[in-house]
Structure 1
Amino acid sequence: MLHVVSRDDKEYFQVNLQNGILFVKETIDREMLCQNTPFCTIPLQVIVDKPVQMYRVEIEIEDINDNSPTFSSIINNVLISELIPAGSRFPLKTAIDPDLGTNSITNYELSPSDYFALDFQKYMNQIRSLELVLKKSLDREKQSVHNLILTAYDGGNPRLSGTTQIIINVEDLNDNAPLFDKPFYQCSVTENASKGSLIFKLNATDLDKGKNGEISYEFGDIVMEEVTRVFSLDKHTGEIRVKGEIDFEKTNMYEIQVDAIDNGDNPMVGHCKVLVTVVDVNDNPPEMTITSLSVPVSEDSPQGTTVAIISIHDRDSGSNGKVQCHISEQVPFKVNPAFMGDFSVTVNGPLDREKKDDYEITITARDEGSPALSVSKSIRVIISDVNDNAPQFIQPSDTIFIKENNAPGSYIYTASAYDPDIGQNSFITYSIADGNIDGIPLSSYISINPENGKIFALVSFDHEQIKYFQCHIRATDAGLSPLSSNQTLNIFTEDINDNAPMFSPLYSPATIMTPKSAQAGYLVAKIRAVDLDSGYNALMSYNFRDPGKDPFIISQLTGEIILKRSFVESDNDEYRLQVVAKDHGEPVMTALTQVIISLVEPGERVNLDNFDLQSNNDDFSTTNIYLVVAICIISSIFLITLIAFTVLRWQKYREEVNDLKESYKICSNTGGSWMYSQHTQYRVCSNSHQTKNDLIVFTPNSSQAPCNEENVNRQSAIIYSSSKPKHPNPDWRYSASLKAAMQGAVHMEGAAVLRGAAVGLEQQWPTVSSATAEPEGGEVSPPVGAGVNCNSWTFKYGPGNQKQPVPQIPPDFPENFIIPGSPAIISIRQDQPSAQAQKSNFITFGKKEETKKKKKKKKGNKNQEKANNNAADNNDQ
């Protein structure tokens, strides 16, 4: 798609598309192409289409010496008076050579002559004037005619030349020729000057008088014909005026040769030259040519895409020839300058065919002259479509209702989408997205016509099976790549009254026992019918088929059969009621059942035949099942947590027992009877919910024990009690507290557990043998020093179950005491605490003192005991 465009109509060059060589197509004559331009170039535009790319090529035409200098005439006759003094000058016509530079005329030569010489001057590297100079006075009598050969040479290689013959006739005429003020005049004229405009006025003088002094002005013989067409010369006044059209773009300077001739018998001539410069005016609007137009333009064309290439040329010069180009309208296109005089129209914004599919662009070229001239040209740019718009549904979601029991294949809906694109980009096909209803593919229920979007039901829908389902309709265009969009269609199955009410089998028929003593308002029974329809079609109303005079009424809404009056003797023992359940559909559908009501005496059993139970069972819904399952799961988690906690506690208990055995081995004495610890605090734990701290200090019953009596007494104390403990009563073995404690005791055979707060020590403790007189009776006593605080008792004789004497408590019973004896087993629990046990939480063992004090009075002891009990209660709180 490469081609070359030149500004002129002629195509001088052509491109070989195979190898890219630019070659000359037609012979080029530089003199014809660039007559008045010294620098001759041919601009070319090399254009590649799809996509449009432009390159500018300027070809300079170099001049060759292919033109010889030529004179306007072969023979020139010159009349010279013999009175003309030496040094006089006579202008000659110069030769013309269309070549330029060194190929133009560079020299003139005159054939050898004793009277004449040749003088020429160069203006702007060109010979502008050629004059014949008289070297010495002529003598007509000696030679009346002089034949000279004037030769013009150019500077080319090879050098070319042209000749003309000059014949000079010597006459005896006027001896004074008219003279101008200056031999050379300069003036200017604006182009397009009106005809008759004065350009310059010449003035010549002649020293002669009379008719020899009368002067007339004429164009010289060497004036070019173009000058005579453009200018006029008044022969009497010497005024040069505009005669024809002056165009700066054709000729920017005129050289006028003017002769002043007197009217003598032998007229004499004076010569001058007038150089007229043409001033350019902005009289040429820009010329616009569209060399390439790439349409249509794709709507997704990026910014900067070339749409068209425009060439603009202004024949004016200077600022009058400078052109700016722009687009008049607000369109997404702009004009960018490419090369000198060339512009490109490019995309300057986003294009959207759906908003506007073509643009009428007016391109204006304006020069910088004053006043400025402009030219406008319109081009139509068509926007081609791309698939940039997905099909759009009129409604993104819609809801339709289908009456159940519809005919298979019936029309239910039309999906409608539109695509603003055109062609295949707007061709829409419809489909239904994959889905299922209760595991059955959606395509088994409905189908869609892919061309017009009509949806048909493939099956007959049943509201009782499918009340609602949703499908997604996809609209896809045929573009590349295809675009699509979805519409959500909510389909509801509209219920019709196609199901009659149904009674539960328990109600058909049913016998209800009703006491005869029932009063008015007594609920006899409640019946219930079920309708598989929904809404108004499932709304039930209950009535008796034959109301008659029966003492019963039925609630139309709830179905409750109520006694409307008390029974009388005349009433029957049995009533058979026909209950009709009626829905509110159209048409109305009913169901019938029979209820048998049997009257019984007040003492007889009343059986409602599980009517209410059945009603309650009917209310047992799936939600209740979920609730029961949730409760079972939570209960199982709680049970597992409780078992795990019990196992962990039992394992900890086993570890503490093992630690206690190790400590027992270390602290035991030689006899192994009593265990002691000098720096140990113990905590007696009755259960996991409540703890009571007791400090217990033990001393050995042998003098070999490592813990002496003094240290034990120092470290053993009841730290939470500030009052004195009461003295035990001699009858403590048979007190009511003991008996109460024995009733709720949990017997353990072995060692009771005492947990220490600091070390968690578990120990087996010595027990005191029975205090009864008969060892066989099995009478047992509480542990030594035990208060009524003990809730659990373990009874066991010592080794061999030998009866041991009961230790006597002295009157001066100390706060800290130790009773030596055989091992005792103590177990403390709080499962069933007695009233007396709550008054003291501490058990203290010490050593019995050898000295006894006298007994106090019985009344004093009771008061003291009461005070101690009150103090212990305060400490417990």
Structure 2
Amino acid sequence: MGVCWGPVLRVLVLQAAWALSGGQVRYSVPEEAKAGTVVGRLAQDLGLEAGEPEARRLRLVAQGRRASVEVSGASGALVVSSRLDREELCGKSAPCALRLEVLVERPLRVFHVELEVTDINDNAPLFPAARKNLSLSENSPPGSRFPLEGASDADIGANAQLSYTLSPSEHFSLDVQRTLDRETMAVHRLVVTASDGGRPALTGTVELVISVLDANDNAPQFNQSVYKVQLPESAAEGTLVVRVNATDPDVVVEVLDVNDNAPEVWVTSLSVPVPEDAAAGTVVALLSVSDRDSGANGRVRCAVWPASPFGLVATFAGSYSLVLREALDRERVSEYEVEVRAEDGGSPPLRASRGVRVPVSDVNDNAPSFAQAVYTVLARENNAAGAELARLWARDPDEAGNGRVSYSVAEGVVGGASSGVARRPASSYVSVDAESGRLWALQPLDYEELQVLQFEVRAVDAGEPPLCGNATVQLFVVDENDNAPALLPLAGGGPGVGAAVSAASGPVSGALWAWAAWGAPAGQVVAKIRAVDADSGYNAWLRYELWEPRGKGPFRVGLYSGEVSTARALEEADGPRQRLVIVVRDHGEPARSATATLSVSLVEGAEAALAAAGSSSSSSSLSGAGLRPAEGGASAASAASATNVWLVVAICAVSSLFLLAVVLYGASRWAPRAAVLSGPGPATLVCASEVGSWSYSQRQSRSLCVADGAGKSDLMVFSPNFPPLPPPPPGPAAKETQPEPPALLDTVGQF
């Protein structure tokens, strides 16, 4: 036998290469790369040939948070699947590396992949506030310095190296150049620009408002140097001589602030939507708050409404972060309207607000859920293939693919040695539509083969990873009257009996023999017609009717027992032989029947005894004492063999029913009324049959009660919803008519 060494050598070479390289593949990808960007030829780097990645199910497993890359099934390449943000993944840490695991099946191997996300210049420098107020004395000497708080940049490396420039001014640069003169210009407005080292560079600005404080650097000056006044000598004391005027650019006037400016609120950055599994502390938005007034009138307090699940955190003077305080649930609230309220310290205070809309994105955190854990479905046997049985529905409150549910029948095995049915998968009987949950039959169901089919239906959503829910379906097959009664060999009871039974499709007919002695009294049992029905309930409840001869014959048949007995004393006038045609019918709709022909030979008592003794010694294959087949010995032996099987089944069933009757009879003695085992409604008595054994269906039974004094050994339980029995045919057999069949308290649903 030849051995293919090629794949083995590739695996050995690959293992050696991995051992030398430390068992790790390293790739690099810039942040914000578009979805579909190829990061590296992973399958080729792992030594896999064309077609192997898909055959060996090459797949990626991320450690920690969800990866933004995936493996292409066809080519085995590692590609970008969603947005990569280095600042979100690693912050200021450098380098930013994602650790991934790659699984390869057949055989199962685990490889480690390190993906470095490199920085791009996607963040501009940001000052703590958009405006900065400064106050300087006008006599500050040139070269005086005062500190300014610099800008920050979320990038790293050269992309975060900042340089500053100042808007053109003859009084200021980044150092003071000229003497200030408040009287010339009281307020200076400058713009400081911060540029990073990226290519192209990104910038951020802050406005400097510099107020020049007054210094006493000016002497008072009169409006003229000499004032000439002529004054009469008779001028009275207190007479105004002259009005002089002197000015001083420094004569200081303090202007008191009035709270005439309301606070202002800006949203400088907004990161939405917020995943519903976001952790507490996640920053949703950055806000800037200012007030043009001064002192208490310019001090601003901020609050967020509603108070949960968001909160405000002060970062710098006048800057706030809107952060997540509590866990979110998109299925409960899918979107929030958040209002940031600002109030200054004036009297009365002035207020302002800014609304922020925060949508919540869905996460696959809900598994499909069925309305019921167990579904009970009734289906009649012989249903058409493709017939709809039920509709199942599972609810998934997630949205889009996370809430899109598909249905399937879970693989399970039905039957086995204990049930007598060959083991078959449940999916060979039923199927479920993947989208609608419609359950239908793949083939006609046969109650005689399968009474109960139990299986699971699985509902799986399309999330990543998918979540699933299960429901159990119990499918009860409801019996239909599709089996005619089958005759069994006669049971002994008279001087001699015999049988030769032939079966055919539809009604079954057979020829039977029995012997009776002259002078036998009325009521003596000559033979007992026995039949079984593979159906259940009413469909298997049998009755026996004497079809021929009509009128007052010497024999009669028990309506439900099948016992053939003498209606009167036998006389010579009855002839040497009587031919009886007996019809066995079930109570199905429509009813099915079988016909038995019984030949009764009338002989002397001694001859009947000798015939019975001879029959029992000559043929051991017949079940009755003194059986004597007329012809067809081989066919009689075959029928007797089948009879033994039925006898065992019948004996077991009758014994079980007898034990149940004894228990129920004892229980009824202790109860003030008839004991009802289950089911609502009025109590209806179900009594034992007066004669013989009965076929019954345990699975279709619902309720059972036994009246005091019911001393019969056989019990019957039948399926409901059938019309009442017709009256018995006229004739001698009508005297043996039993009461109407018992009714059940609880019934099976109609179809």
TM-score normalised to structure 2 length: 0.51
1:324 aligned residue: 301
Kept in 2: contact 1:310–1:344 (CA 8 A): yes
1:646-665 CA distance string (max 9 Å, x none)? xxxxxxxxxxxxxxxxxxxx
5 Å matches for 1:144-223? Answer: 169=225, 173=229, 209-212=238-241, 220-223=246-249
- Contact 2:343-2:349 at 8 Å conserved across structures: yes
Cα distance in 2 for residues equivalent to 1:469 and 1:29:
77
Instruction: Give the CA RMSD over aligned residues.
Output: 4.6
Shift of the 303–545 alpha-carbon distance from structure 1 to 2, 3 Å rule, reads same
Q: Hey, what's the Cα distance between the residues in 2 that align with 1:276 and 1:555?
A: 132
Give the aligned partner of residue 471 of structure 2.
487
The answer to whether the 8 A contact 2:135-2:213 is kept is: no
| Aligned residue number for residue 66 of structure 1 | 177
How many residues are aligned here?
447
| Cα distance between partner residues in 1 of 2:301 and 2:126 | 33
Q: Deviations over 1:743-772 (max 9, x none)?
A: xxxxxxxxxxxxxxxxxxxxxxxxxxxxxx
Local SS of the residue matching 2:474? strand
Deviation at 1:422, TM superposition (A): 1.5
2:410 pairs with 1:433: yes
Tell me if 1:299 matches 2:276. yes
Preserved CA contact (<8 Å) 2:489 2:530? no
Task: Determine if the alignment matches structure 1 residue 368 to structure 2 residue 397.
Answer: no
CA change 1:600–1:290 in 2 (3 A) is: same
2:587 paired residue number: 584
After superposition, the Cα gap between the structure-2 partners of 1:587 and 1:171, relative to the gap in structure 1 and judged at 3 Å, is: closer
Q: Distance in 1 between matches of 2:460 and 2:581?
A: 63
Q: Distance in 1 between matches of 2:366 and 2:484?
A: 53
Map of 1:755 onto structure 2: none
Alignment match, 2:358: 381
Alignment-derived partner of residue 453 in structure 1: 437
Q: Name the residue aligned to 2:99.
A: none
Matched residue, 1:341: 318
1:34 Cα deviation after fit: 6.3
Larger relative CO (CA 8 A, sep 6+): 1 or 2?
A: 2
Pick the aligned partner of 2:483 from 489, 499, 502. 499
Q: CA deviation at 1:426?
A: 2.0
How big is the shift at 1:172?
A: 5.5
In the alignment, does 2:387 pair up with 1:421?
no
Residues 313 and 622 of structure 1: CA distance in aligned 2, closer, same or farther (over 3 Å): farther
Q: Which runs of 5+ in 1 are unaligned?
A: 4-15, 50-55, 73-94, 101-123, 134-165, 176-205, 224-254, 258-274, 628-877
Question: Distance in 2 between the 1:70 and 1:207 partners?
Answer: 46
Measure the CA separation in 2 of the matches of 1:291 and 1:48: 15
2:169 paired residue number: none
State the Cα deviation string for residues 822-871 of structure 1 (Å, max 9, x = none): xxxxxxxxxxxxxxxxxxxxxxxxxxxxxxxxxxxxxxxxxxxxxxxxxx
Distance 1:277 1:542 in 2: 126
Q: CA deviation at 1:504?
A: 1.6
Alignment CA distance shift 1:283-1:528 (3 Å): same
**Displacement of 1:543 after TM fit?**
0.3
SS at 2:538 equivalent: helix
The aligned runs of 1:370-769 (5 Å cut-off) are 370-438=347-415, 439-506=423-490, 507=499, 508-546=510-548, 547-606=550-609, 607=612, 610-611=623-624, 618-621=646-649
* C-alpha displacement of 1:170: 5.0
**Contact 1:42 1:58 survives alignment (8 Å):** no
Amino acid paired to 1:127: A
For residues 455 and 71 of structure 1, the distance between their equivalents in structure 2, rounded to whole angstroms, comes to 90
Look up the match of 1:674. Answer: none
Does the CA contact (< 8 Å) of 1:499 and 1:589 recur in 2? yes
Structure 2 CA distance for aligned equivalents of residues 278 and 98 of structure 1: 15
- Summarize the Cα distance change of 1:48–1:559 in structure 2 as closer, same or farther, 3 Å threshold: farther
Cα shift readout 1:349-378 (whole Å, capped 9, x = no counterpart): 221212221111112112333333221111
TM superposition shift of 1:574: 2.7
1:538-584 deviation per Cα after TM superposition (whole angstroms, max 9, x unaligned)? 11111011233222222222212233323344333432211100111
Q: Quote the sequence identity (%).
A: 34
**Which runs of no fewer than 5 residues in structure 2 stay unpaired?**
1-84, 88-118, 156-161, 167-171, 190-211, 416-422, 491-498, 500-509, 617-621, 628-639, 656-751
Find the residue that maps to 1:536 and give its secondary structure. helix
Residues 58/517 of structure 1: CA separation in 2 closer, same or farther (3 Å cut) = farther
Displacement of 1:517: 4.5
- Give the structure 2 partner of residue 127 of structure 1: 215
Which residue pairs with 1:287 in the alignment? 264
Residue type of the alignment partner of 2:215: I
Letter paired with 1:522? Q
Paired residue secondary structure (1:461) = coil
DSSP-derived class of the 1:485 partner: strand
Which residue is equivalent to 1:794?
A: none
How far residue 494 of structure 1 moved from its aligned partner, in angstroms, is 2.5
Letter in 1 for 2:376: T
Task: After superposing the two structures, state which structure 1 stretch, 591-600 or 480-489, moved more.
Answer: 591-600
Matches of 1:619 and 1:66, distance apart in 2? 123
> Offset at 1:277?
3.2
Distance between the aligned counterparts of 1:475 and 1:290, measured in 2?
44
- The one-letter amino acid paired with 2:312 is V
Per mean C-alpha deviation after superposition, the further-off stretch among 40-49 and 429-438 is 40-49
Distance in 1 separating the partners of 2:310 and 2:362: 18
Q: In structure 2, how many angstroms separate the alpha carbons of the residues matched to 1:318 and 1:327?
A: 24
Per the TM alignment, residue 296 of structure 1 is displaced from its structure 2 partner at its CA by 0.6
Say whether the 8 Å CA contact 1:65–1:99 is kept in structure 2.
no
Whole-angstrom distance in 1 between the partners of 2:224 and 2:481: 139
SS in 1 for 2:574: coil
Q: For the Cα contact (< 8 Å) 2:366–2:396, is it kept in 1? A: yes
* Cα distance between partner residues in 2 of 1:330 and 1:424: 32
What amino acid is the match of 2:400? G
CA distance in 2, matches of 1:20, 1:363: 25
